Amino acid sequence: MKKPSVDTAVVDIFHREVGHLSTRKFTYRLAASEDLVMRLDLVRKLQKHMGCVNTVSFNADGDILISGSDDRQVILWDWETGSVKLAFDSGHNSNVFQAKIMPETDERSIVTCAADGQYWPDGIDLKMLLMEVRHATILECGNVDTKLLSKHDGRAHKLANEPNSPHILYSCGEDGLVQHFDLRTGEPTQLFTCQPVHAFSYMSVVHLNDIAIDPRNPNLFVVGGSDEFTRLYDIRKYKCNTSADFGEPADYFCPKHLLGDENVGITGLAFSEHSELLVSYAEEFIYCFSKDMGWGSDVSTILADHLADDSDVEMETDSKPGPQLFKGHRNCATVKGVSFFGPKCEYVSSGSDCGRMFIWRKKDAKLVRLIEADTQVVNCIEAHPDIPMLASSGMDKDIKIWTPTALEKASYPTNIEKMRPKTGIWMHRMVSPRDMALQLLARQNQQTSSERVVSNGLEFIITFDANSSDEDDSEE
């Protein structure tokens, strides 16, 4: 006779009561319990924004949630009650892409980035976006003072603040530039411009979409964008030697089958507490790398040999352990993040073009939850720092709060392959080849004669439009 199943969480509670499980271990095991993940349910919608919500994040204590939107507003929420603690104009002229509370500042120091404006390069009928990084200070009287920190040529979606530091943060943009900020000085340091590995790349720079700092070693950070590589850097190299060679990464990460693939790009990056690296690819999958899975600092040689189909190199790379793969979602329409979930990062979560929230078990990449979370696209999923709770946002004008309050456990998802994105979601936010060509053209025009740039630029645009049309036809 089959024994009745008992939730592991219930067993852990019993063991805790009789003294067989320490408080610390009980807390970790309960928070990571799959039983709780299977009971995640919508408990609240935070509603005040008048546009798409592009960013959500918690403060260090987890009692305040901050959000930013297309309406240019930044809002601090008491997510437990759903009330607004503070709402203010960000000072940006366009969509707020990210808002973060700086740690150890009593929630009075906030950094934001957005696509703020556009200018028309002389002699060319093309516009180019300008992205601003701003700093907001909440004064004792309750007013908010905002000031400009720096600009990027082109869009940027993410900032990275150094863990436990109230002063240090980084920015990256589609101009390929990575900047370092110390809020005490007010002046940004331009670290480097990310260069493509491919010798004959159509891009003069790698258009960066995300940046992340390793929480176990804040000297290390990664960037990812419009090619297949996640690049790892060590800021100590810059501090010891401010020469231009700091722009050379300490390591590169990429799944073997994507080496040399010029049709992929990276939209999201995240580090676990154990320095594992999550990389989300546009129109591809999510991969989890351990720190020993990089290709090293001299990836150009490996890439050249790989493209030349060198048998010795193929044998060597075949024996190299590969990253864990997470699939089922779709990442085509917007720039989506990716994140770990759980006290020891036991789960991986991502949004999708189908309007659902995906949660996988990290150890075996099994999809355990599939949750309807937006009428169009889910872009952001943020885990609470201490408890099993998630906040999500996307094309809807609200933020959804998910806690393990469902009376019944959900079942494992099935028939994922049959799901298709909902209609009307194909937005303009992903960096298309044409966008890249236009921005490259505008950037080159600042440095060279207009006549030559226009001629070369038109060739770029014609080529990219042709390629894009071919891709669209094949997709249909």
* C-alpha to C-alpha distance for 476 and 425, rounded to whole angstroms: 16
Q: Cα angle vertex 424, ends 419, 429, to 5°?
A: 100
Residue 105 within any structural domain of the chain: yes
What is the dihedral angle through the alpha carbons of 53, 167, 268, 370, rounded to the nearest 10 degrees?
-60
CB burial of residue 1 (10 Å; 0-12, 13-18, 19+): exposed
Whether residues 257 and 375 share a domain: the answer is: yes
Shared domain for 451 and 404, answered yes or no, is: no
Q: Is residue 473 part of a domain?
A: no
Are 384 and 262 in the same domain?
yes
- Phi and psi at residue 40, to the nearest 5°: -60, 130
156 and 173 belong to one structural domain? yes
On whether both 254 and 346 belong to a single domain, the answer is yes
If you search the block for the tokens 């906040």, which residue do you land on? 391
Q: Is residue 476 part of a domain?
A: no
pLDDT at 302: 79
C-beta atoms surrounding 242 within 10 Å: 11
35-49, 70-84, 104-118, 423-437: lowest mean pLDDT where?
Answer: 423-437
- Above 50 in pLDDT, residue 133? yes
Give the list of residues 6+ apart from residue 402 with CB closer than 8 angstroms, or none. Answer: 40, 41, 42, 43, 357, 371, 373, 389, 390, 391, 392
Residue 465: pLDDT band by 50, 70, 90 thresholds? very low
Which stretch of 16-25, 156-165, 284-293, 375-384 has the lowest confidence by average pLDDT?
16-25
127 within domain boundaries: yes
- Clarify whether residues 130 and 169 are in a common domain: yes
Are 305 and 338 within one domain? yes
- Neighbour tally for 355: CB within 10 Å: 21
What whole-number distance in Å separates Cα of residue 7 and Cα of residue 307? 51
pLDDT higher at 247 or 146 = 146
Residues 16 and 62 in one domain: no
The CA-based dihedral angle spanning residues 346, 352, 356, 361, taken in that order and rounded to the nearest 10 degrees: -20
| Dihedral angle computed from the Cα positions of residues 117, 121, 122 and 126, in that order, rounded to the nearest 10 degrees | -100
If asked whether residues 44 and 131 sit together in one domain, one would say yes
- The yes-or-no verdict on residue 4 having pLDDT over 50 is no
Q: Look over the chain and give the mean of its residue pLDDT values, rounded to a whole number.
A: 82
Is there a domain that residue 218 lies in?
yes
Contacts with 448 (C-beta within 8 Å, 6 or more apart), sequence order: none
**Residue-range definition of the domain harbouring residue 24:** 1-31
User: Residue 474 falls within a domain, yes or no?
Assistant: no
Q: Determine, yes or no, domain membership for 67.
A: yes
Residue 461 covered by a domain: yes
For residue 358, give the CATH number of its domain.
2.130.10.10
Report yes or no on whether pTM surpasses 0.85: no
What single string gives the DSSP state of each residue in 327-376?
A: -S----SS---EEEESTT--EEEE--TTSEEEEEETTT--EEEEEE--SS
For residue 424, what pLDDT is reported? 45
Instruction: Judge if 280 and 205 occupy the same domain.
Output: yes
**Residue range 398-409: mean pLDDT, rounded:** 97
Contacts of 360 (CB under 8 A, 6+ apart): 326, 328, 347, 348, 349, 366, 367, 368
> What CA–CA distance (Å, rounded) separates 316 from 394?
42
The stretch 303-318 carries a mean pLDDT of 63
Please count the structural domains in the chain. 3
DSSP state of 239: H
User: Would you state the pLDDT for residue 211?
Assistant: 98
Nearest to 348 by CA among 356, 339, 357: 339
Do β-strands 159-161 and 168-172 pair in parallel, antiparallel, or remain unpaired? Answer: antiparallel
Residue type, 332: C
* Same domain assignment for residues 196 and 291: yes
What's the rounded Cα separation, in Å, for the pair 53 and 96?
9
| For residues 174-190, average pLDDT | 92
Note whether 363 and 241 are same-domain residues: yes
pLDDT tens for each residue of 75-130: 999 999 999 999 999 999 889 999 999 999 999 999 999 876 554 455 444 555 67
Tokens 């094309």 -> residue: 395
Q: Residues 440-449: pLDDT tens digits?
A: 444 444 444 4
pLDDT digits (tens, 9 = 90+) for 272-291: 999 999 999 999 999 999 99
C-alpha distances in Å from residue 456, one per residue of 91, 112, 138, 224: 37, 35, 48, 27
